[in-house]
Structure 1
Amino acid sequence: MRRLITNTFLTLDGVMQAPGGPDEDVDGGFGLGGWSVNFWDDHMGDTMGETMGVPFDLVLGRRTYDIFAAHWPRATDEDGAKPLNEATKYVASRQRPALEWQNSVLLDDDVPTAVAALKGTDGPELQVHGSANLLQTLIRHDLVDEYRLWIFPVLVGTGKRLFADGVVPASLELVTSSVSTTGVVIGTYRPAGAVTIGSFALE
Structure 2
Amino acid sequence: MTGRSGEQVTIVVADDHTLFRQGLRELLSTDPSFEVVGEGETSDEALELIKKHRPEVLLLDVEMPGPGAKAVIEQVAVSYPETAVIILTMHNSPAIVRDLLESGAAAYLMKTIARDELISAVRSVSRSRANVILSVPRTTLQSLERQHEQHTLLSERELEVLRLVAKAMSNAQIAVRLFISEGTVKRHLTSIYSKLGAVSRVDAIKKAERAHLIDGRER
In the superposition, the TM-score normalised over structure 2's length comes to: 0.31
Comparing both structures, which one devotes a greater share of its residues to helix?
2
Comparing both structures, which one devotes a greater share of its residues to strand?
1
Q: Which of the pair has more CA radius of gyration?
A: 2
Relative contact order higher in (CA < 8 Å, ≥ 6 apart):
1
